[in-house]
């Protein structure tokens, strides 16, 4: 017992010796070991995010490569590697020049064995640095890394150009490289420094590019890196018609916009693709689909069109309306280099107002080119709904004719969007705090620090920061608190403009209208210990925002090092207080953000992958139902919206269970079709569709006359809210078929689906 007490006293004494010298300068504690290393790179000086001691060598992403590089750069006692910003700048230059820069990292490094602390081979000198006993050996584990990767994660070319420049070759080892070869269509080709070369890809998607690094001693490594190919046919001199199908066209706004903090106004740049109808192939009934919030331009025009998919059988709303003679025009906001500058703009998260000016340009172009007198339909999913609303109303206020009859807002944040403030604190701290996690930096830059995010997010971490700090929170701030100089200014402008007045305004939302929540206020989302290495770990706690008028810790990060026991050297926490009028936003009824959407960002980041695997809940309320419906008269985000409410929308589709954000399903698709396809005054006469005649108005029997056999047909009738009021399947129809139905007086949509036909008709019960 006495011996145990002595050991405990020794540990406590050591703790008091160590604690004053740990903190954000933790890496300096290892300076005393510098001369004892062989490689002059000691990995313990940094917090391991990439787990470089067990490196990923297959399908290495640009982000993972940069993370490994950044950690070894910081761990190098001799500072032989430039800061990771050098790689980022090279990537930006490559993007602007339409060439993919490659980089090579060869390095040997060491880490301290856990046993070195436990056996007392490491002690402290008078300067409080770690030193080795004179007779100590076998202290370090040796590691080596050989990585080759593209510094850009994706390309929009099917034959991208690559180049390996001398200043992007980094070798801190004694090993000499004799050659680097890359596999191109089954043939190994030697890469020559500073000489550009092409690779050809016959399809889109994530590609694995194999390479060999050969060393002068005869050894070689065979590994691979990844590249996401998103090739689309671009308009050229041969296909430069403004609305040629199957081609992506560029468009720039003629009306510039000056964002908050910008020194001048700039025009925006977009791209669009037309999907002509399958009836006559003439641009005469335009439906414009406007992309939403999209950091990094992860969706091209084809992917945006696929957002209209629904159902288990792969149905698509766009395909349905095109079969009815409508033309779908998809507007995307890509990444681009601003003309005359080297500034790269991420269009998918740029200012909502600037993107709205691009839509104004497109509407003017459509109206000048379309055939006939059909008015436009504009559909805005997510942030696209705000862009559409702003553009249409701007045109009205400035005497421009948008020639649009229908504006459909699809789960759009008219009163703001939400990302849990606990996640915001954690991601920002891990990215821009002492850890320097590049994955988190990417998430913060695109999802939180972008102009669009600052404009839309009801609660924003920059409104919670302590004065002078970039990551520590002021615990006395009540949420929600928007981004200073962005959030309230934007919402006030939007509210002042109002909604378009010369259109029928309707909405589809994905939040439950009956006050069903997305979890429980204050619930625990994570309580997990991440063992990032044998001597390092992270403890992360996250809670969703609490009930009304309550305060709760929503995020806590501890980074710990093992030195006889676990000592915390990185730590940050955030607490939030909900207002008196509503519980926290995170679990409110609303369109859900599916957290698996972070999966691509997590690729190659061992810490973040483990983070994703240990969440207690896989979603949060992204677009509160109150916001999607633009409700005025209450600020309780948990209010029941199924009763009377003050909304600007003439009609809407609202589920009784919360759905993932911008989810289409049978009911809201039918609602959209009702509004898009049927808008003329109903003629009280028989309706004929090809070889099918439907007697109209309907009494107590629905009479359908067919001139050909319709086998195994499914008949459904929905009311104008999209609710199905009658369905019957397995019908074989030939000649006159009478179907008893009981309908209240009103207007309905009849849908007959068979192997050969899909008929949509408006009917009335008088």
Q: In the chain, pLDDT over 90 holds for what percent of residues?
A: 65
684 shares a domain with 590: no
Identify whether 451 is part of a domain: yes
C-alpha angle 552/555/559, rounded to 5°? 140
> Do 426 and 556 sit in the same domain of this protein?
yes
Q: Which residue segment(s) compose the domain that 378 sits in?
A: 249-410
Tell me, what's the pLDDT at 130?
76
> How many domains is the chain built from?
4
Are residue 258 and residue 345 in the same domain, yes or no? yes
Q: Report the CATH number that the domain containing residue 266 is assigned in CATH.
A: 3.40.50
Residues 143 and 269 in one domain: no
Q: What is the pLDDT of residue 601?
A: 64
Separation CA 474–CA 465 (nearest Å)? 6
Looking at the fold, whether 224 and 363 belong to one and the same domain comes out as no
CA torsion angle for 92, 486, 518, 383 (degrees, to 10)? -60
Residue 28 has pLDDT above 80, yes or no: no
Q: What pLDDT shows up at residue 126?
A: 66
Q: What is the pLDDT of residues 435-461, one digit of tens each?
A: 888 888 988 998 999 999 999 999 999
How many angstroms separate the CA atoms of 675 and 653, rounded? Answer: 11
Statement to judge: residues 686 and 729 lie in one domain: yes
* Residue 497: other Cβ atoms inside 10 A: 15
What does the pLDDT read at residue 289? 98
Mean pLDDT rounded to a whole number for the chain? 88
Predicted confidence band of residue 96 (pLDDT cuts 50, 70, 90): very high
What pTM was computed for the model? 0.86
- The pLDDT score that the predictor gives to residue 27 is 57
pLDDT of residue 138: 80
195 and 285 in one domain? no
The reply to whether 390 and 522 lie within a common domain is no
Query: Does some domain include residue 671?
Result: no
Query: Domain end: 410, 429, 450, which one?
Result: 410
The better pLDDT of the pair 679, 358 is held by: 358
Per-residue confidence (pLDDT) for residue 610, from 0 to 100: 86
Judge if 428 and 404 occupy the same domain: no
How far from each other are the two terminal CA atoms of the chain, in whole angstroms? 94
Q: Decide if pLDDT at 112 tops 70.
A: yes
The answer to whether residue 241 sits within a structural domain is no
| Segment 629-683, tens digit of pLDDT | 999 989 999 999 976 578 999 999 999 999 999 999 999 999 999 899 875 433 2
Helix (H) or strand (E) holding 264: none
Residues 572 and 685 in one domain: no
d(CA 560, CA 532): 10
**Structural domain contains residue 669:** no
Residues forming beta bridges with residue 147, ordered by sequence position: 105
Residues in the chain: 766
Mean per-residue pLDDT, 372-398: 97
pLDDT in tens, 489-498: 999 999 999 9
Report which of residues 21 and 520 the model is more confident about. Answer: 520
9: pLDDT confidence band, cut at 50, 70 and 90? Answer: very low
Tell whether 158 is covered by a domain: yes
The CA–CA distances, whole Å, from 552 to 466, 475, 544, 548, 574 equal 18, 10, 9, 11, 9
- pLDDT at res. 643: 66
Last residue of a domain, one of 410, 436, 467: 410
Mean pLDDT, residues 686-706: 73
Q: Is the pLDDT of residue 244 over 50?
A: yes
pLDDT value of residue 456: 98
CA-CA distance, 715 to 360, in Å (whole number)?
40
Among the residue ranges 60-69, 179-188, 341-350, 595-604, the one predicted with the least confidence is: 595-604
Residue 14 has pLDDT above 60, yes or no: no
User: How confident is the model over 520-547, as pLDDT tens digits?
Assistant: 999 999 999 988 877 788 999 999 999 9
CB count within 10 Å of CB 728 equals: 14
Residues 337 and 299 in one domain: yes
Query: Where is the domain boundary, 579, 605, 625?
Result: 625
Judge whether 324 lies within some domain: yes
Residue ranges in 370-520 assigned as alpha helix (H)? 383-397, 421-432, 438-443, 451-456, 487-497
* pLDDT given for residue 261 in this prediction: 85
The highest-confidence range among 26-30, 342-346, 414-418, 532-536, by mean pLDDT, is: 414-418
What pLDDT score does 61 carry? 93
| Cα–Cα dist 341/750, whole Å | 55
**In a domain? residue 713:** yes
Q: Give the mean model confidence (pLDDT) for residues 309-326.
A: 92
Q: Is residue 37 part of a domain?
A: yes
Residue 118 shares a structural domain with residue 188: yes
Question: What string of DSSP letters covers 420-459?
Answer: -HHHHHHHHHHHHSTT--HHHHHHIIIIISSHHHHHHBSS
- CA 685, CA 120: separation in Å to the nearest integer? 96
CATH number of the domain within which 690 lies: 2.60.40.3080
pLDDT per residue as tens digits for the range 572-610: 999 999 999 999 999 999 999 998 877 666 666 777 788
pLDDT in tens, 709-755: 888 888 888 876 667 788 888 888 888 888 888 888 877 888 887 76
3-state secondary structure 625-670: HHHHCCCECCCCCCCCCCCCCECCCCEEECCCCCCECCCCCHHHHH
Looking at residue 706, its pLDDT comes to: 82
What's the confidence (pLDDT) of residue 163? 98
């Amino acid at each position: 017992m006495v011996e145990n007490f002595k050991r405990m006293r020794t540990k406590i004494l050591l703790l008091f010796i160590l604690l004053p010298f740990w903190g954000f300068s933790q890496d300096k504690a290892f300076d005393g070991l510098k001369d004892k290393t062989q490689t002059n790179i000691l990995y313990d000086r940094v917090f391991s995010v990439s787990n470089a001691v067990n490196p990923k060598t297959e399908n290495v992403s640009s982000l993972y490569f940069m993370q490994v590089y950044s950690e070894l750069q910081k761990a190098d006692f001799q500072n032989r590697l430039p800061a990771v910003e050098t790689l980022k700048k090279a990537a930006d230059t490559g993007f602007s020049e339409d060439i993919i820069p490659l980089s090579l990292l060869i390095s040997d490094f060491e880490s301290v064995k856990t046993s070195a602390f436990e056996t007392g081979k490491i002690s402290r000198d008078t300067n409080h640095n770690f030193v080795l006993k004179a007779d100590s050996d076998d202290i370090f584990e040796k590691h080596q890394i050989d990585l080759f990767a593209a510094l850009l994660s994706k390309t929009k070319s099917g034959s991208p150009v690559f180049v390996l420049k001398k200043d992007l070759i980094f070798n801190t080892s004694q090993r000499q490289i004799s050659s680097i070869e890359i596999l191109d269509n089954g043939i190994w080709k030697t890469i020559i420094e500073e000489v550009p070369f092409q690779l050809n890809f016959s399809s889109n998607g994530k590609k694995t590019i194999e390479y060999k690094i050969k060393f002068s001693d005869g050894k070689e490594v065979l590994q691979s890196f990844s590249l996401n190919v998103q090739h689309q046919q671009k308009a050229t001199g041969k296909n430069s018609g403004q609305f040629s199908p199957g081609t992506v066209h560029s468009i720039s706004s003629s009306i510039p916009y000056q964002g908050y903090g910008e020194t001048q106004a700039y025009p925006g740049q977009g791209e669009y693709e037309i999907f002509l109808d399958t009836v006559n192939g003439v641009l005469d009934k335009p439906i414009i689909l406007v992309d939403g919030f999209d950091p990094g331009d992860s969706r091209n025009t084809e992917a945006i069109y696929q957002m209209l998919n629904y159902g288990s059988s792969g149905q698509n709303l766009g395909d349905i309306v095109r079969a009815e003679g409508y033309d779908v025009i998809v507007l995307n906001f890509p990444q681009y280099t601003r003309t005359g500058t080297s500034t790269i703009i991420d269009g998918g998260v740029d200012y909502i107002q600037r993107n709205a000016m691009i839509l104004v340009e497109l509407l003017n172009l459509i109206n000048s080119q379309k055939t006939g007198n059909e008015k436009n339909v504009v559909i805005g999913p997510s942030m696209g709904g705000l862009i559409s609303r702003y553009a249409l109303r701007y045109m009205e206020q400035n005497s421009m004719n948008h020639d649009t009859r229908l504006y459909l807002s699809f789960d759009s944040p008219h009163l703001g969007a939400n990302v849990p403030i606990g996640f915001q604190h954690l991601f920002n701290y891990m990215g821009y705090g002492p850890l320097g996690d590049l994955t988190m930096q990417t998430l913060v830059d695109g999802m939180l620090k972008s102009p669009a995010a600052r404009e839309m997010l009801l609660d924003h971490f920059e409104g919670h920061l302590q004065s002078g700090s970039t990551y520590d929170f002021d615990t006395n701030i009540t949420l929600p608190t928007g981004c200073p100089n962005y959030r309230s200014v934007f919402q006030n402008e939007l509210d002042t403009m109002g909604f378009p007045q010369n259109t029928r305004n309707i909405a589809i939302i994905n939040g439950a209208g009956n006050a069903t929540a997305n979890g429980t206020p204050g619930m625990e989302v994570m309580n997990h210990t991440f063992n990032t290495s044998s001597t390092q770990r992270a403890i992360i706690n996250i809670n969703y925002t609490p009930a009304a008028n309550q305060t709760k810790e929503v995020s806590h990060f501890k980074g710990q090092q093992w030195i006889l026991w676990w000592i915390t050297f990185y730590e940050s926490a955030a607490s939030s207080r909900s207002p008196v009028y509503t519980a926290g936003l995170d679990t409110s009824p609303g369109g859900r953000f599916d957290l698996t959407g972070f999966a691509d960002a997590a690729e190659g980041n061992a810490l973040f992958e483990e983070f994703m695997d240990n969440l207690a809940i896989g979603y949060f309320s992204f677009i509160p139902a109150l916001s999607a419906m633009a409700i005025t008269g209450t600020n309780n985000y948990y209010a029941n919206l199924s009763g009377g409410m003050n909304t600007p929308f003439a009609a809407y589709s609202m589920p009784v269970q919360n759905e993932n954000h911008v989810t289409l399903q049978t009911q809201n698709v039918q609602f959209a079709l009702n509004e898009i396809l049927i808008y003329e005054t109903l003629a009280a006469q028989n309706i004929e569709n090809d070889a099918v005649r439907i007697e109209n108005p309907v009494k107590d029997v629905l009479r359908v006359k067919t001139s050909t056999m319709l086998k195994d047909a499914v008949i459904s009738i929905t009311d104008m809210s999209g609710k199905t009021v009658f369905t019957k399947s397995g019908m074989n129809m030939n000649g006159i078929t009478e179907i008893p139905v009981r309908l209240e007086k009103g207007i309905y949509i009849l849908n007959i689906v068979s192997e050969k036909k899909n008929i949509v008709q408006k009917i009335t019960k008088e």
